[in-house]
Amino acid sequence: MNRKGKPRTIWKEITKKGQCYLLLLPTCLLLLTFNYYPSFSAIYHSLFDWDGANFIRYIGLGNFINMLHDPTIPLSFLNTLKLTICSLIINLTFPLLAAALIFHLKDSRFAYFYRTLFVIPMVVPGMVVFMIWRFIYNPISGLLNQLLTSIGLTQLTRPWLGDFDLALYAVIFIGFPWVAGIATLIYLAGFQSIPIELLDAVAIDGASTWTKFWKIELPLVMAQIKLIIILTLIGAVQGFVNIMVMTNGGPGEATMVPGLYLYRNAMYYNKMGYACAIGTFLFLIILILTYLNIRYLRSSIEYQA
Amino acid sequence: MRKGLKHDLPIHIILIILGIFTFYPFVFTVITSFKDSPQFIHNFWGITWPLHPLNYTDAWSRISRYILNSGIVTTASVFGVLIIASISAFAFARFNFPAKDFLFLCILSLLMIPGILTLVPAFLLVKRLGLLNTYWALILPYISGGQVFAIFILRSFIASLPEELFEAARVDGASTLQSFFNIAIPLSKPILVTVAIMNVLGTWNDYVWPLVTISDGRLWTITVGIVSFSSQYGGLEMWGPMFAGYVIASIPLIVLFFFTMRYFIAGLTSGALKV
């Protein structure tokens, strides 16, 4: 019986395993073409002087050495640093405050109401939000200058996005008061996963709300805080859509960031090799940050349905 | 309850103030979308009568094409992601085969590859494939990139389904495909909706990739279209139609949100965790 059945089972096993690879075939083909190939191509071509078409010349680390001598590079990384620090400060204060307040509401129906309220703006496409803020900063008809004029502060009006010193901060200010974001949702999920018995026990001990917050609640959402830090860092290093549509790096190069500079080198100057080198460098930075991300992602919510 | 309200009053005040600041730009957008130019100039802040709903007709005639394009690309990409990712997730979750873990790791490690690295070579690839200025230039890379995190989420969900179900189906003589379509898929519906919404958000809001691959204005997606539309209408100081365009551009996602609120929030949060 056993001997008789064996060849059949093996054959069945083989077809079944073959079937598995067949099931994975579309995934693998797509990933090899559109993800793996471009990734390796980028790293490989970062060693070449390349126009993306016929002209190609191996220059070793030439592109990276050129980056050291390119005045736009330090300028753009400095801007990224400013953007990163400001985004970190923003994401660690306003959304955390909003989430803590919502969490402290006695009536859970209100908590649900505010959560929904702060989710709705997230549904508005990001590009529409940028466009609205472009209008807010419009030098003549914009909401901000109109507001300043109508309250008698005409001397403060200015072309916000055209101001060398302020343009970058104007971009950072978009979305004020920054509570309608994913950060709020993540913090809130963190607060809500604190065991209720723990909070009750502390309440019986008579700790003040303030002590309770600093000593109990905040340490227990540390995983979420770490997660937000990592997500903010990674987002700030590679993001450039906000800069691109608000100032396009201007005035001059005052708000240039590495991502936008990469885009320009590739699309305007046909310096594909150089663009790949900037991309590879950003990738290395993000890889380090992602390493931290993976270390901390495990300890926090992966996703909640 | 009443006691709670009194106790929470300071919290309500702060949250409402935050809410007002958050919503004011959107309220202003809606109000202004009904104004003509004289109304905009003479009464910048208030609601003005009569309303000018024709702003919406005007804006619609300019951006309907972009919305349609985004709709086509998003629908195709999301269905592509769902189909391909659920098949692969099923294989990873319910079968054992050589190199399974290695393959899964190869897929998962792509989560670490930032879009900025692949932008240039992916553009040149799509160009060489002759896909520039076609929907395929968007759909194929969106499916490819979108499936990575989808496989990750779906695999753990399908793996958590009880083996007895699949065992029973096998005993009854169900084929692999049958147990996929009749057991795995129906039971994974909620997670599939979450994955779908996550991808809708990513695809609908993407800007750089369509900007790079689509130069033909007739094929622009809403993000690229709305920027060009804004520059044009803003330049002409046609504020009413410009804001009407913003409202129209926001409606599809808002409608989706109200129909799938719970999944939507899950999709938003898990989308953020994808680097």
DSSP 3-state percent helix, strand, coil across chain A (nearest 5): 75, 0, 25
Does the residue B101 lie in any domain? yes
- The confidence score (pLDDT) of residue B275 equals 46
The answer to whether A212 touches A278, Cβ cutoff 8 Å, is no
Residue B110: inside a domain: yes
Residue B141: its pLDDT value, please?
95
Tell me the torsion sign for CA atoms B28, B32, B37, B39.
negative
In 10 A of CB B228, how many CB atoms?
14
Please state which of the ranges A217-221, B1-5, B175-179, B211-215 shows the lowest mean pLDDT: B1-5
Give the least confident one: A216-220, B71-75, B211-215, B248-252: A216-220
B44 vs chain A: nearest CA distance in angstroms?
A: 8
pLDDT of B3 higher than 60? no
pLDDT tens for each residue of A93-135: 999 999 999 998 888 888 889 988 898 888 899 999 999 999 9
Residue B246 lies in a domain: yes
Work out the pLDDT band at A216, boundaries 50, 70, 90: confident
Query: What does pTM read for this prediction?
Result: 0.90
* Position B2 confidence tier, pLDDT thresholds 50, 70, 90: low
Of A207 and B27, which is predicted with more confidence?
A: B27
Distance from CA of A202 to the nearest CA of B (A): 19
Give the H or E element holding residue A169.
Answer: helix A167-173
| A151 in contact with chain B, both atoms CB, cutoff 8 A | no
* Per-residue burial over B190-204, b = 16 or more CB atoms within 10 Å of its CB, e = otherwise: ebbbbbbbbbbbbbb
Question: Average pLDDT in the B107-128 region?
Answer: 90
- Does residue A192 surpass a pLDDT of 90? no
CA A154 to chain CA centroid, Å, is 36
Task: For residue B242, give both structure tokens.
Answer: 């410009």
- Range of the structural domain that residue B119 is part of: 54-273
Q: Does residue A7 register a pLDDT over 70?
A: no
- Asked if A245 and B262 come within 8 Å (Cβ–Cβ), the reply is no
Tell if the CB–CB gap between B227 and A136 is shorter than 8 Å. Answer: no
**B156 residue type, one letter:** S
Is residue B20 included in any domain, yes or no? no
Residues belonging to chain A: 305
Instruction: Give B268's contacts in chain A (Cβ within 8 Å).
Output: 119, 122, 182, 185
- Confidence category of residue A301, pLDDT binned at 50, 70, 90: very low
The residues in B 113-132 lying below 8 A from A, measured between CB atoms, are: 113-125
Q: What percent of chain B stands above pLDDT 90?
A: 53
Residue A214 has pLDDT above 90, yes or no: no
How close does chain A come to B17, measured CA to CA in Å? 10
Region B101-125: what's the mean pLDDT? Answer: 90
List of chain A residues whose C-beta atoms are within 8 Å of the C-beta of residue B92: 24
Classify residue B36: in a domain, yes or no.
no
A188/A304 Cα distance (integer angstroms): 12
For the ranges A25-39, A138-152, B79-93, B131-145, the lowest mean pLDDT is seen at: A138-152
pLDDT at A17: 75
CA–CA separation, A289 and A231 (whole Å) = 9
Tell me which of A53 and A277 has the higher pLDDT: A277
A122 touches chain B (CB under 8 A): yes
Nearest-Cα distance to chain B for A238, in Å, is: 6
Residues A186, B272: C-beta atoms closer than 8 Å: yes
What pLDDT does residue B274 have? Answer: 60
Q: Spell out which residues of chain B touch residue A33, defining contact as CB-CB under 8 Å.
A: 125, 140, 144
pLDDT, residue A304, reads 39
Q: What is the ipTM of this complex?
A: 0.91
Residue B2 lies in a domain: no
Q: What is the pLDDT of residue B177?
A: 83
CB contact under 8 A, A120 and B257: yes
Domains of chain B: total: 1
Average pLDDT score, chain A:
86
Q: Is B87 on the interface with A (CB under 8 A)?
A: yes
Residue A305: pLDDT band with limits 50, 70, 90: very low
The per-residue pLDDT for B272 is 67
Mean pLDDT, chain B, integer: 89
Euclidean distance between CA atoms A95 and A184, whole angstroms? 5
In the CATH scheme, what architecture does the domain A62-297 have? Orthogonal Bundle (1.10)
Q: Distance between CA atoms of A263 and A4, rounded to whole angstroms?
A: 65
Query: Chain B contacts of A41, Cβ < 8 Å?
Result: 121, 124-125
**What's the pLDDT score for residue A204?**
76
Q: Is there a domain that residue B48 lies in?
A: no
Contact residues on chain A for B212, CB-CB shorter than 8 A: 267
pLDDT at A169 over 90: yes
Domain boundaries in chain A?
Answer: 2-45, 62-297
CATH number for position B132 = 1.10.3720.10
Question: Considering CB atoms only, which of A20, A52, A282 is closest to B114?
Answer: A282
Is residue B17 one of the residues assigned to a domain?
no
Mean pLDDT calculated for residue range A67-77: 93
Nearest Cα of chain A lies from the Cα of B3 at a distance, in angstroms, of: 9
Provide mean pLDDT across the span B35-56: 86
User: pLDDT at position A302, please?
Assistant: 46
Quick check: B149 pLDDT over 80? Answer: yes
